[in-house]
Each structure stands twice: as C-alpha cells, then as structure tokens.
C-alpha cells in the first residue's frame, strides 16, 4: 500500500496496461479480462487485475499529464515490482502523414518539462521507450494484422488543440519528424529508465490539425479496441 494505491502487493501483476481514463480501465476489465477484480479505488483512479488468455494482467489508470503518470508509474515500479507498463491512450497527429484512427507506437518522447530537473537535477528533453517491449508490440501487430505507425512522439504539458495555430505550437519543438502528440509518455519513459524497468506507449490518433474528421462514438470505441487488443497481445508474449 502507498499514499496513492491501496492494493496489496500480490494484487498487482508484473505487466500493467495504463490508460489515462479510469473509466477506460473499467471498460477494459469488463470487456477483455476474465476473473478480474478491482484493486484500487483511491481518488477514483481505478485499477483492475484479471486474466487475458490465461495470463495475469493489471489495468491501472494514470490520469492526465506527466505529474499524474509519474506518481502511478513510480509507485507501481518501485513498490509493487511491476516490470512492464504499456501506456494505451489517445493522441493528436503531429504529422500530415499520420491520420485520424492511426495507431502509433512511440520509440521515444520529446518534452520541454522541468520534471527531470525537479526530480533528479538533470536536464533531459528526450527519453526512449523499451526496445524489447516495442518488439513484442510489433510482433503482436503483425500476428493480428494491425497496422502500426512507428516513430518519435511529442509529450506536451498543454492540450495542443488549445493553441492558436499549428505553426505556433510546432515552433516550440525541434524540426524533426515527430508523429503524434500526447501528454504522458515522457513521464512514463523517464520513470522506467530511472528504475531499470520497461515502458512503451501505444496511441490511437483521435484528432488532427490536418484533418477535421469528427469520430462517431462507434468509430472511437472500435479504434481504441484495436489498440487495447494489441497491447494485451503484446503483454502475453
């Protein structure tokens, strides 16, 4: 038990899927896991542990932003002996070739943040994800015939669509071929690297400066289901 997690140590599996939304964690448990039980309700940051194809898996929400995922990933890695965390979330396109409904695998995240400085006194703006865990995800994608876009991504401290223009938002970052933008991956990757653990991030693109397509609730659910299945399949490799 920690300040933020009420679970017993044995209630948490070695592999964790981490959506941002607590209700998405509930949805995954109810629709994809068997013999599941709720293991955390503190602050309504729901966590569930159950079985996927006979393999024990935990689904634990992170909340939004680096500070929130930093807390939960640290406590899960440090105090619950979690070995691997796969973030599964939504993102915006940062590249005209990345379309709404694409599934993106992050090889590393760039962020302009004080997080490493405040935590460790280090100036860090790019951190990689786990190569081994990424390879598991790529293998699972091939077996399930799920197309993946793979590359570097942006973690932002602000929701990108609230900025006044794409050009203004992009001017804050290096002129590189980043694929998508979200708000948590950098914090997760930093904690994993700091503690000698594994972390990866899968994202479904749900909005874009380049494409004003509006998703129906059915399209959003189906696209997220594809990403969820991919993460679960990778978790049992």
Q: Which residues are catalytic?
A: 207
Distance CA 86, CA 146 (A): 17
For residues 130 and 180, give the distance between their C-alpha atoms in angstroms, rounded to a whole number.
18
Beta bridge partners of 58: 16, 49
Separation CA 183–CA 197 (nearest Å): 20
> Residue 119 phi/psi, 5° resolution?
-80, -45
Partnered with residue 49 across adjacent β-strands are 37, 58
Question: Phi/psi class of residue 81: alpha, beta or left (left: φ > 0; alpha: ψ in -120 to 50)?
Answer: left
């Amino acid at each position: 038990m920690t300040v933020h997690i009420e679970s017993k140590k044995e209630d948490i599996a070695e592999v964790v899927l981490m959506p941002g939304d607590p209700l998405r964690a509930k949805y995954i448990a109810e629709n994809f896991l068997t013999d599941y039980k709720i293991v955390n309700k503190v602050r309504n940051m729901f966590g569930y542990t159950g079985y996927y194809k006979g393999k024990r898996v935990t689904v634990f929400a992170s909340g939004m932003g680096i500070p929130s995922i930093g807390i939960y990933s640290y406590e899960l890695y440090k105090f619950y002996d979690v070995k691997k965390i796969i973030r599964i979330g939504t993102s915006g396109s940062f590249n005209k070739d990345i379309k709404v409904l694409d599934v993106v695998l992050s090889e590393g995240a760039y962020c302009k943040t004080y997080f490493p400085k405040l935590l460790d006194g280090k100036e860090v703006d790019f951190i990689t994800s786990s190569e081994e865990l990424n390879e598991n995800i790529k293998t699972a994608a091939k077996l399930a015939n799920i197309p993946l876009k793979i590359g570097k991504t942006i973690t932002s401290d602000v929701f990108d669509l609230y900025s006044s223009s794409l050009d203004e938002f992009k001017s804050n970052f290096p002129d590189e071929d980043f694929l998508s933008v979200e708000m948590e991956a950098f914090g997760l990757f930093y904690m994993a690297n700091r503690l000698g653990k594994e972390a990866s991030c899968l994202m479904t693109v749900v909005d874009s400066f380049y494409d004003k397509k509006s998703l129906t609730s059915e399209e959003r659910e189906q696209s997220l289901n594809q990403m969820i299945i991919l993460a679960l399949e990778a978790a049992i490799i």
